Structure 1
């Protein structure tokens, strides 16, 4: 007897601040059958006051479900939907409290709330420490750590998830034990677009791999961040242009080195001096973070999660959580 759509498929939804993504996924073996993306992120839907906002969330999700059903010719009424990200935030579908660490990687301790029964629709909340919060990344982490290839890392590892707000996550004894947030990406944007440094650095290099012509500048920035205060080093970007005639690309590489050096230099203070490192990054970040870790002597402990695996991280997390919930 073949599996029913409910048993065979899952609807995996990543509802971000600015974007919405719904995937129809096959559970075993894991594969994306089809997906819908739009700009109907939580920030846009937050313009509506409750209960209109809740209705808009249902409308956006319902429209995406119908589109997937039409595109694949699969009846999705019985297929459950798991939603992570900003849909459970203050500006979301329904605000859910954060679950404090430690959070077992098995997934059963996450706060999951059913917002609709037909079809079954479940919101996954975020996690917190005494001083930090996270929504969305916890699902990616559970998904990645559910893979057999990372089984040995469940006992002790440091996961680095770069982004606007980069997360350093400490995994210990099968649980997310702690995490720290670094505003590296946001600082880069502010400094290269809105500060006086924008005249001295070329921001486009943020999305390029470190070319040989600027690698030395990048390395210099990473090393300098281990010796001098960040606020002092930032102004040197301007001084490099005025006094030394540095080009914008070299200055941007130096600035990025300073920011990544400041972020990654904190790993030792965060209690992970000898732990294996999993770099969980998209293509725009991987090469830069890997190079910075090499400069800091962390290459031997580093494992880079493949881009294809990172692209499935949230989906793997939804499948893992659905299994824990019996869905």
Structure 2
């Protein structure tokens, strides 16, 4: 495999690991593998192993090597020399090598993100480009900064918003080719807690899609209610919807989702950006797109959507190219 035309994209999160062999120019995925060996589980194994700190990188590389071997079996050839680009939690306190956060602002082309190159060694024949996260005075992110780079924002004076839905949704303001401010919303985590723990868990049921049955109507009703009353009161309506048989448990699931996503997006009504880029998993993109439409935000500024996979690959290869330019290799 030609190491100058391909790279290994590693998205190493807290609870999951994904590795892809990718063509640099076309971003075509040639092979991929994934596991539940996220950084949290790997860090726990590292602690249990009782090895000295100097062996930490080697321990994490052994996890990488196991997955690399799977890819080599799939493509039936050696991947020696192909560089690995890692974004996500691998640069955190539970990761391979802790790197400090880069303070805002940062360039949206990825040229000034904080990185560390770990050279190849005889027992691991791949250089590793580790990308760190970003911080503001009171907020942080790891992984989303690479996805923001992958959105390829225009260099304009108009404020643009990067919105990444997820467990901890990120809103990042972009202006003049730089990310200048950010906010984290614990939307996904609060939804998970409310829908699986406590009294509301018995009133909702996961399943179905947004456009099935009355799901969209109940989701939009949740978005509407989120603008009219306090979330702590609105949440109890999930209970009474079920108690009074107003909604099925699956419809209630979408109602609760609408309440939380609507609450998150409420801030955008006061300060609307010139454009919004939604980047994430398809199911969440559909929900956020519907919420922005219902709130009238989408009607006043363009909203474009990109998948998490697409922006991760584009962002990683952009940072890799910047690194090669810095080293004088291209």
TM-score by length of 1: 0.89
Distance 2:278 2:11 in 1: 21
Paired position in structure 1 for 2:284: 285
Summarize the alignment of residues 71-150 of structure 1 with structure 2, pairs less than 5 Å apart.
71-118=74-121, 119-145=126-152
How far did residue 74 of structure 1 move?
Answer: 4.2
Partner of 1:46: 43
Which whole-Å CA distance do the structure 2 matches of 1:317 and 1:155 have between them? 22
The reply to whether residue 252 of structure 1 matches residue 249 of structure 2 is no
Unaligned runs of 5+ in 2: none
Of 4, 8, 11, the residue aligned with 1:11 is 8
Question: CA 1:252/1:63 → structure 2, altered by over 3 Å: closer, same or farther?
Answer: closer
- 2:68 equivalent in structure 1: 65
Between Structure 1 and Structure 2, how many residues are aligned?
A: 314
Name the residue aligned to 1:219. Answer: 220
- Whether the 8 Å CA contact 2:278–2:303 is kept in 1: the answer is yes
- Deviation digits for residues 148-179 of structure 1, max 9, x if unmatched? xx547795311211111111111111011111
**CA displacement, residues 90-125 of structure 1 (integer Å, 9 cap, x when unaligned):** 011111110011110121211111223343112100
The equivalent residue for 1:24 is: 21
CA contact (8 A) 1:46 1:53 kept: no
- Greater displacement, 104-113 / 86-95: 104-113
Match of 1:299?
298
Q: d(CA) in 1 for partners of 2:211 and 2:137?
A: 37
User: Please, which runs of 5 or more residues in structure 1 have no aligned partner?
Assistant: none
- Contact 1:154 1:175 survives alignment (8 Å): no
Distance 1:243 1:66 in 2: 56
Higher helix proportion (structure 1 or 2): 1
- What are the superposed Cα offsets for residues 157-202 of structure 1, whole Å, 9 maximum, x if unpaired? 1121111111111111101111111111111111111020112222
Q: TM-score, normalised by structure 2?
A: 0.88
Structure 1 Cα separation of the partners of residues 261 and 156 of structure 2: 24
Task: Measure the CA separation in 1 of the matches of 2:72 and 2:241.
Answer: 57
**1:240 equivalenced with 2:252 (yes/no):** no
Give the structure 1 partner of residue 162 of structure 2: 159
**Kindly tell me: are residues 66 and 6 of structure 1, through their superposed partners in 2, closer, same or farther at Cα, counting changes over 3 Å?**
same
Q: Are the aligned partners of 1:210 and 1:288 in contact in 2 as well (CA < 8 Å)?
A: no
> Partners in 2 of 1:231 and 1:27 — Cα distance?
48
Secondary structure of 1:204's counterpart equals coil
Question: What's the secondary structure of 1:299's corresponding residue?
Answer: coil
User: Contact 1:221/1:258 (CA < 8 Å) preserved in 2?
Assistant: yes
Match of 1:266 in 2: 267
- Residues 75, 131 of structure 1: CA spacing in aligned structure 2 closer, same or farther, 3 A cutoff? same
SS at match of 2:130: strand
Report if aligned partners of 1:210, 1:287 keep a CA contact under 8 Å in 2: no
Secondary structure, counterpart of 1:268 in structure 2:
helix
> Structure 1 residues 242 and 71 mapped into 2: Cα distance closer, same or farther (>3 Å)?
closer
